[in-house]
Amino acid sequence: MLSIRSSPNSCWNRSRSTEDQALIIGVRLRALREEKKFSQGEIENRTGLLRCYISRVENGHTIPAVETLEKFARALEVCRVSSSAEIARPG
């Protein structure tokens, strides 16, 4: 299981915490995509999301909504994405 969680003690600087979350989410999504040997173009086709948006997410420039994380999960063939931005592998 891959999980993405922010520490409750890191909230003193909210903008930094948000930046950290965005980067962690992006790194996890890119790792899963590369593990599956999918291109950003293939994720674009599977999700309907623009390739430039996928790139922005993977590079930590934006935090996707839970619904968008669910699209990523389906495209990457992982079992779930929870509201706490937890990405779990099947099995």
In this structure, what CATH number is given to the domain that contains residue 55?
Answer: 1.10.260.40
pLDDT above 70 (res 4): no
Q: Is residue 2 part of a domain?
A: no
48: left (phi over 0), alpha (psi -120 to 50) or beta: left
- The pLDDT value recorded for residue 15 is 55
Task: Give the phi and the psi of residue 87 in degrees, each rounded to 5.
Answer: -115, 120
Q: Is the pLDDT of residue 22 over 90?
A: no
pTM equals: 0.72
Q: How many structural domains comprise the chain?
A: 1
**28: domain range?**
15-88
As a three-state string, the secondary structure of 51-83 is HHHHHHHHCCCCCCCHHHHHHHHHHCCCCEECC
pLDDT tens for 52-90 read 999 999 999 999 998 999 999 999 998 866 544 455 555
The answer to whether residue 7 is domain-embedded is: no
Residue 4 falls inside a structural domain: no
